[in-house]
Amino acid sequence: MRTQNQRAWFFVLPVLVLVAFNALVPLMTVVNYSVQETFGDNRFFWHGLGWFEDVLRSERFHAALGRQVLFTFTILIIEVPLGVAIALTMPRKGFWVPVCLVLMSLPLLIPWNVVGAMWNIFTLPDIGLLGYFLNNVLGIDYNMTQSPVAAWVTVIVMDVWHWTSLVVLLAYAGLISIPEAYYQAAKIDAASNWAIFRYIQLPKMKRVLTIAILLRFMDSFNIYTEPFVLTGGGPGNSTTFLSIDLVKVALGQFDLGPAAAMSLIYFAFTLLVSWLFYTIMTKDEQ
């Protein structure tokens, strides 16, 4: 037997160390908190799976999770078709290509908290451009600090504005990789525009759309900064998503045990859904 070259491990080591420090160690700390009870003084007592039971039974958690799922579902339903639709209308060659690409990328370059602050000011009923316009020109009673519906609509519109571009860019990349011969063949086969979309463009975009949906799912499911800056989770708890609730529990009430259990459940849920989705989408690629 020849000895295998073991040197490769040496090159992987830095990454392993990095992952350990920024993911595994903090995660273990969280696991540690989630199974113990503390009364301060750095004294801990074994609490088993108690916190997990509490969290899973808590109405507050159910409500936050429900809001989270509704939010993510809504923005996916809007952003993916909208993104694909915009990508389809973008030019495939010529002068306008770079212009469109730059315009599309702009929202993606703005930091989360700035987006939140922008929309907060934008929608103020007295001085915000949109808020003023809705209230005083169109006569719609719009105030997201008081109406949960208004708050929801604002959060969703903001997310759509901020993130649809990502879907557009990915879908566009999928579209331009389709060889011209496919369109020519479809023309010759007398395929309608819908058939071209359904049987050529959509299948060829499948991979990039899978990535787009995954990214948008994970990002929107973990969303924190934008709604926090925009609504602070209100009015009431109407826009308190899981992440916002988690921070309230952990830092507002300093209930470290329940907060730790909650983050682990949250994490496991995100992981599970992503895995399921990815497995189903790539199942028949073998």
Partner 1 sequence: MAKITLDGLRHSYVPDPQSEADYALKRMDLEWKDGGAYALLGPSGCGKSTLLNIISGLLNPSEGRVLFDERDVTREPPDRRNIAQVFQFPVIYDTMTVYDNLAFPLRNRGVPASRVDARVTEIAEMLELGDRLRTRASGLGPDDKQKISMGRGLVRDDVNVIMFDEPLTVIDPAQKWKLRSKLKELHQKIEVTMIYVTHDQTEALTFADQVVVMQDGEVVQIGTPVDLFECPRHTFVGHFIGSPGMNILPCDVHGQRVEFQGITVPTAGFPEVPDGATAEIGVRPEFVSITEDGGIPAVVRKAADIGRHIVVEAMAGDVPVSAVIDGDAPEAGSEVRLRFDPAHTRVYADGWLVTREGAI
Q: Which of 112, 199, 224, 277 binds partner 1 (CB under 8 A)?
A: 199
Amino acid at 14: P
The closest alpha carbon to 222, from 151, 138, 147, 163, belongs to 163
Amino acid at 18: L
Q: Which of 187, 236, 254, 272 binds partner 1 (CB under 8 A)?
A: 187
Q: Which of 7, 192, 279, 283 binds partner 1 (CB under 8 A)?
A: 192
Q: How far is the CB of 195 from partner 1 (least distance, A)?
A: 7
Q: How far is the CB of 199 from partner 1 (least distance, A)?
A: 5
Q: Are 209 and 183 in contact (CB under 8 A)?
A: no
Amino acid at 186: A
| β-pair type (44-46, 36-38) | antiparallel
Which residues pair with residue 44 across a beta bridge? 38
The reply to whether 141 sits near partner 1 by the rule CB under 8 A is no
Candidate segments 52-60, 135-143, 153-161, 189-197, binder of partner 1 by CB under 8 A:
189-197
Q: How far is the CB of 188 from partner 1 (least distance, A)?
A: 5
The reply to whether 112 sits near partner 1 by the rule CB under 8 A is no
Number of residues that bind partner 1 (CB under 8 A): 17
Residue 179, preceding peptide bond in cis (omega within 30° of 0): no
SS3 of 6-73: the string is: CHHHHHHHHHHHHHHHHHHHHHHHHHHHHCEEECCCCCEEECCCHHHHHHHHCHHHHHHHHHHHHHHH
Nearer to partner 1, 9 or 194 (CB): 194
Nearer to partner 1, 195 or 268 (CB): 195
Instruction: Mark residues 145-184: x for contact with partner 1 by CB under 8 A, - for none.
Output: ----------------------------------x-xx-x
Nearer to partner 1, 213 or 230 (CB): 213
**Residue 5 φ/ψ, nearest 5 degrees:** -75, 115
Residue 26, preceding peptide bond in cis (omega within 30° of 0): no
The reply to whether 200 sits near partner 1 by the rule CB under 8 A is yes
Instruction: Mark residues 267-286: x for contact with partner 1 by CB under 8 A, - for none.
Output: -----------------x--
Q: How far is the CB of 208 from partner 1 (least distance, A)?
A: 15
The reply to whether 185 sits near partner 1 by the rule CB under 8 A is yes
Q: Are 257 and 39 in contact (CB under 8 A)?
A: no
In whole angstroms, give the CA distance from residue 23 to residue 188: 54
In whole angstroms, give the CA distance from residue 212 to residue 214: 5
Judged by the rule CB under 8 A, the positions of this chain that interact with partner 1 are 179, 181-182, 184-185, 187-192, 195, 199-200, 203-204, 284
